[in-house]
C-alpha cells in the first residue's frame, strides 16, 4: 500500500474533520462569550461589529505563511493531516521542521524521499503531534506560577522580563534557523533567511518613518512570505 492511500483516505478525513469541528465549536463559543461580555460592559452593537470585523481583517495576513505551508505540506503528507496540524496548534515553522526530523530519523533524505512508507508516515504524524503538546501542558501546569512571577518582576520595575523574553525568542529562532543557515552548501536556505531578515528590517524602518504601527506588527509574516518567494524563484531559475 502506498502511504498516500492512507494520507488521503476517507477514514483519516473523517477523524481529522471531527477534530477540527471541535476546534471550530470552541472558536464560536469564545466569540459568543466575548460578545456577551462586551454587552455586559456596555459596548454598542456598532462597536462590537467593528471589533469583530477588524479582528477578522487583521488575522488574514499573519495566516498567509500558514496557508503557504499547508499547500507545501499537502504534497508529501496528503490533503488532510497538514490541515489538522495547521488548524489547531501547529505553526508554519514547526510543522515542516518536525516532519523532516522524523523523516531523517528513519533514514530518509526529507519528506519528498520516494522511500516514504505508511509506517514512516505514521511515525511522522506521531512526532509532529507529540512534539508540540509540551507547550500546552506547560501552560496548564505552570502558566499561573509564571504569570505570578512576571507580575512580581514587573512590580520591581527592572528590565529582567523584557531581556528574558527576548533571549528566549532569539534562542528559539536560532534553534530553528541554525541547521539551514549554517549549511553554506544550501544556498537556497541561506538566501531565503537573509532576504527575510532584510525584509523585516526594511518593514520596521518603514513603520518607524511612517509611524504606521501595523507595518511593524505584520513584518514577520510578510518577511516569511518574501523568504518563501525567494526560495521558489531560486528553485525555478537559480543555478
* 176-222 per-position pLDDT tens digit: 777 777 777 778 888 888 898 899 899 989 988 998 877 887 787 78
CA 211 to CA 85: how far, in whole Å? 36
Name the pLDDT band for 145 (thresholds 50, 70, 90): confident
- Specify which of 61-65, 80-84, 89-93 reaches the highest per-range mean pLDDT: 80-84
Nearest C-alpha neighbor of 119 from the set 134, 132, 102, 133: 102
Q: Where are the alpha helices (DSSP H) in 78-132?
A: 81-85, 92-105, 118-130
Calculate the alpha carbon distances from 82 to 16, 88, 98, 145, 167 in Å: 10, 10, 12, 33, 30
Rounded to whole angstroms, the Cα distance separating 195 from 222 reads 11
Taking a C-beta distance cutoff of 8 angstroms, is the pair 78, 4 a contact?
A: yes
Of all residues in the chain, the percent with pLDDT exceeding 70 is 96
Task: Please state, in angstroms and as integers, the Cα–Cα distance from residue 76 to each residue in 95, 180, 234, following that order.
Answer: 13, 20, 21
Mean pLDDT of 148-154: 76
Distance CA 193, CA 68 (A): 17
Cα-flanking dihedrals φ and ψ of residue 39, to 5°?
-65, -40
Cell numbers placing 104: 531523517
pLDDT digits (tens, 9 = 90+) for 92-144: 778 888 888 899 999 998 888 889 999 999 999 999 989 888 888 888 898 88
Q: Where does residue 37 fall: left (phi above 0), alpha (psi -120 to 50 degrees), or beta otherwise?
A: alpha
pLDDT value at residue 61: 64
Q: 238 falls in which pLDDT band (50, 70, 90)?
A: low
**pLDDT above 80 (res 1):** no
Q: What is the pLDDT of residue 16?
A: 92
- pLDDT category at 62 given cuts 50, 70, 90 is low
User: What's the pLDDT score for residue 179?
Assistant: 74
Amino acid at each position: 500500500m502506498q502511504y498516500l492511500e492512507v494520507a488521503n483516505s476517507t477514514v483519516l478525513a473523517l477523524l481529522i474533520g471531527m477534530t477540527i469541528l471541535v476546534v471550530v465549536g470552541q472558536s464560536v463559543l469564545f466569540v459568543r462569550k466575548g460578545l456577551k461580555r462586551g454587552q455586559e460592559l456596555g459596548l454598542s452593537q456598532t462597536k462590537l461589529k467593528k471589533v469583530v470585523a477588524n479582528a477578522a481583517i487583521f488575522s488574514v495576513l499573519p495566516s498567509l505563511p500558514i496557508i503557504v505551508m499547508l499547500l507545501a505540506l499537502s504534497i508529501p503528507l496528503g490533503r488532510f493531516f497538514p490541515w489538522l496540524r495547521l488548524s489547531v496548534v501547529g505553526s508554519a515553522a514547526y510543522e515542516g521542521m518536525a516532519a523532516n526530523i522524523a523523516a531523517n530519523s528513519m533514514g530518509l533524505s526529507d519528506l519528498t524521499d520516494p522511500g516514504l512508507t505508511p509506517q514512516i508516515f505514521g511515525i511522522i504524524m506521531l512526532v509532529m503531534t507529540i512534539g508540540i503538546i509540551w507547550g500546552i501542558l506547560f501552560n496548564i501546569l505552570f502558566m499561573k506560577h509564571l504569570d505570578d512571577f512576571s507580575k512580581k518582576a514587573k512590580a520591581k520595575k527592572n528590565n529582567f522580563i523584557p531581556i528574558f523574553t527576548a533571549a528566549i525568542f532569539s534562542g528559539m529562532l536560532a534553534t530553528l534557523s541554525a541547521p539551514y543557515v549554517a549549511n553554506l552548501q544550501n544556498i537556497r536556505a541561506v538566501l531565503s533567511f537573509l532576504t527575510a531578515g532584510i525584509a523585516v528590517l526594511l518593514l520596521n524602518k518603514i513603520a518607524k518613518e511612517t509611524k504606521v504601527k501595523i507595518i511593524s506588527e505584520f513584518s514577520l509574516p510578510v518577511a516569511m512570505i518574501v523568504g518563501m518567494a525567494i526560495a521558489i524563484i531560486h528553485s525555478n531559475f537559480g543555478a
